[in-house]
């Protein structure tokens, strides 16, 4: 793993293997062994992922093998986010696994301290299935483009949309997330303040006029009387493991951007990110995928929420992704291109469309 990557460098996999085995043995009260530890080459910029096989003998003296995934908290200066609440991510999956029908990974354990691996981490079971590729983007290449029919793609897309519907129908207070709300700010004000601070931190002395204009517009045009739910934050088909049939989600991943907010922000991000990796990269969407308006209609009908603020949250999605991609360009020694990314170009276009429509 390269040193300029925005995640901890795992230099001693053999030592990590021993440390994880000891930690798991104490946690599970079995004599555990960790085998075949690897780092996937296609993991994102925001964390380190380890995949390994956990081997132990249970109380019946039967040998058990479980494929596992470890997520390690970033701990270098060149990170995508200024801070990471690994405990909250773990808690969200734990609660959803116990109190909802949202499919999440089976969790094994959380380590909040640095003593074991030098950074906090959590471990979950590996889920087999199909994940639409980010590298290369699924509109350009990969199994979704090359090995599925139009009807299968429609099925997959609608399955992902239905995951959002199920999530947004949950009462965040009843399932235990009341503490995420702020008495001083609305959820939207809280998020806008976060992204304003993120921009200052992420870009440093670098300016991004498109993001400046979008952020100002978002502050000045905030919707009133918004609904509040637990939002996924990074709602994308590439963050879902699908069953081979493509009509069922096996596990919903990556909750690091989760927050309370208007549920429309998730469906806006869902559509916007797909458009970025098709239109934004100069390629056509895969045939068979429902249109964005069809997706929005399905979500409205299923969730019971109105999409009246969809345009607003499309700009919000564009701002967030533009800032994240600009940050990635900066930490990968491409500062001169930080305000010229395809995300910024699409955001500028969406801004023009929304302002013209208004």
Confidence label for 4 from pLDDT (cuts 50, 70 and 90): very low
The reply to whether the predicted model has a pTM over 0.85 is yes
Q: Say what the pLDDT of residue 257 is.
A: 96
Element (H, E) at 202: helix 187-203
Q: What integer is the mean pLDDT of 323-344?
A: 93
Return the pLDDT at 284.
96
Q: Decide: 273 and 136 in contact? Cβ < 8 Å.
A: no
Structure tokens at 341: 């990314």
Structural domains in the chain plus CATH codes: 13-125 (3.30.200.20), 143-357 (3.90.1200.10)
- pLDDT per position as a tens digit, 11-28: 788 899 999 999 999 999
Strand partners of residue 231: 259
C-alpha angle 242/243/246, rounded to 5°? Answer: 75
User: 289-305: b or e for each residue (b if 16 or more CB lie within 10 Å)?
Assistant: bbebeebbebbbebbeb
Integer CA distances (angstroms), 147 to 143, 286, 291, 321, in order: 5, 12, 21, 29
Phi, psi of 317 (to 5 degrees): -60, -45
Residue 129 CA: distances (Å) to CA of 243, 261, 289, 320? 5, 30, 20, 29
In sequence order, the 6+-apart residues with CB closer than 8 A to the CB of 200 are none
Dihedral angle sign, alpha carbons of residues 54, 58, 61, 64? negative
Bridge-based pairing of strands 240-242 and 33-38 is unpaired
With DSSP H G I counted as helix, E B as strand and the rest as coil, what are the percentages for the chain, rounded to 5? 45, 15, 40
246-257 pLDDT, tens digit each: 999 999 999 999
Provide the pLDDT for residue 7: 40
Instruction: List pLDDT tens digits, range 47-84.
Output: 789 999 999 988 788 899 999 999 998 876 688 999 88
Of 302, 236, 304, give the one whose Cα is nearest residue 271: 236
User: For residue 123, which of 140, 110, 138 has the smallest C-alpha distance?
Assistant: 110
Q: What is the pLDDT of residues 134-186, one digit of tens each?
A: 989 999 999 999 999 999 999 999 999 999 999 999 999 999 999 999 888 99
């Amino acid at each position: 793993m390269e040193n300029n990557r925005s995640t901890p460098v795992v230099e001693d996999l053999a030592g990590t293997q021993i440390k994880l085995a000891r930690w798991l043995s104490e946690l599970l009260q079995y004599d555990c062994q960790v085998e075949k530890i690897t780092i996937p080459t296609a993991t994102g910029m925001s964390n380190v992922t380890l995949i390994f096989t956990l081997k132990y003998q249970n109380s019946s003296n039967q040998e058990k093998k479980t494929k596992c995934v470890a997520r390690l908290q970033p701990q270098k200066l060149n990170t995508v986010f200024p801070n990471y609440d690994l405990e909250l991510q773990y808690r969200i999956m734990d609660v959803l696994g116990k109190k909802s029908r949202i499919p999440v990974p089976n969790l094994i354990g959380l380590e909040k301290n640095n003593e074991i691996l030098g950074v906090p981490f959590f471990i979950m079971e590996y889920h087999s299935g199909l994940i639409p590729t980010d590298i290369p983007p699924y509109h350009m290449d990969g199994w979704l483009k090359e090995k599925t029919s139009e009807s299968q793609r429609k099925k997959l897309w609608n399955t992902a949309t239905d995951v959002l519907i199920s999530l947004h129908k949950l009462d965040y207070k009843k399932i235990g997330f009341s503490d995420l709300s702020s008495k001083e700010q609305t959820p939207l004000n809280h998020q806008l303040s976060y992204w304003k601070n993120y921009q200052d931190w992420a870009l440093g002395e670098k300016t991004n006029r498109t993001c400046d204009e979008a952020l100002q517009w978002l502050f000045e045009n905030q919707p009133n009387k918004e609904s509040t739910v637990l939002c996924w934050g990074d709602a994308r088909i590439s963050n879902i493991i699908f069953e081979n049939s493509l009509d069922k989600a096996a596990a919903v991943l990556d909750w690091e951007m989760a927050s309370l907010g208007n549920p429309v922000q998730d469906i806006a991000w869902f559509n916007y990110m797909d458009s970025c990796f098709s239109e934004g990269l100069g390629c056509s969407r895969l045939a068979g995928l429902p249109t964005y308006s069809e997706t929005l209609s399905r979500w409205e009908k299923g969730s019971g929420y109105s999409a009246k603020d969809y345009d607003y949250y499309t700009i919000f999605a564009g701002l967030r992704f533009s800032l994240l991609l600009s940050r990635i360009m900066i930490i990968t020694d491409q500062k001169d291109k930080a305000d010229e990314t395809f995300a910024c170009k699409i955001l500028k276009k969406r801004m023009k469309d929304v302002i013209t429509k208004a």
